[in-house]
Structure 1
């Protein structure tokens, strides 16, 4: 795995304006951090120095074909959150080998709670495509979103219909997909990431529809 930063030749560095939290934000951030601690999503680091990044090593009793097949099957946990401070998404992508990708993203546009959940799902599917997934199992605690995708509910609102069409478009890019509804307690990590994202400074992210 490698990371690449694309920089235009001749471009000059620009100093970003310092972001400051509003007076109501510190308490919200503190509450979200406490929720993450209680959910077991984060914990206190007691190591005297930073550890190196995890390196994936092929198992001795695993063939190349088995490794390739396992790495293309991913589980996608998504959630979106919208409140008076802002809106954001939490995404967790996990494969059968235990590799886990986590994304916490703030939205810079107004949206409802259901729209935020659709945005999270679309971003998650784009991420799954980028890592080479061929089969994706989606987990969401939104009964409305999962029911619309599975054809159990109709999307009567024009904006929600656009989100549904875009989601179905991305789902068709995979050889096999499954969308499942789960309870909030089983989606607590993605939920915590989405709420944490809604309190972060702006990132100039736009809607995907």
Structure 2
């Protein structure tokens, strides 16, 4: 029995990507969210201006977690093609750069809104990551 006061919604899969043309350079981030039946229920892309790829990767996760928190999602599986970001979030790597630590802190603050989150690195060739990468590149093409 759930007593948290919000309606339970089934597990969601979150796929994220960040891209930068140059490092730093023009950057974008995107995410897509799928339900337990692997149906896409949300996707979004954002132009970020001039920033680094790592900032774009973190920002994609922040946007996706923000969306999921407003949908009362309880359990998330988060997938990213950034080994660095996933390993920092899971505590395998230390975070030495203050600007990345601030983004990490934002991710952790959002993560506490959920009952359970798993974090997983997947290669950029994964079809759902490739979709997010396509969204990023189309957005970057709109901002020459």
TM > 0.5 fold call? yes
In the alignment, is residue 80 of structure 1 matched against residue 18 of structure 2? yes
Partner of 1:63: none
Structure 1 gap ranges (5+):
1-67, 203-209
* Backbone CA RMSD of aligned residues: 1.8
Greater strand share, structure number: 2
In the alignment, is residue 105 of structure 1 matched against residue 46 of structure 2? yes
Partner of 1:191: 133
Partner of 1:133: 73
In 1, the alpha carbon distance for the partners of 2:67 and 2:137 equals 20
Q: CA deviation at 1:99?
A: 4.3
**Residues 90 and 192 of structure 1 are in contact (CA less than 8 Å); yes or no, is this contact kept in structure 2?**
no
Q: CA deviation at 1:150?
A: 0.3
**Residues 72 and 132 of structure 1 are in contact (CA less than 8 Å); yes or no, is this contact kept in structure 2?**
no
Runs of 4+ in 1 over 2 A off after TM superposition: 97-100, 199-202
Q: CA deviation at 1:200?
A: 2.2
Structure whose alpha-carbon radius of gyration is higher: 1
Q: 1:1-209 to 2 correspondence within 5 Å? A: 71-84=9-22, 86-97=26-37, 98-107=39-48, 109-186=49-126, 187-201=129-143
How many residues in Structure 1 have an aligned counterpart in Structure 2?
A: 133
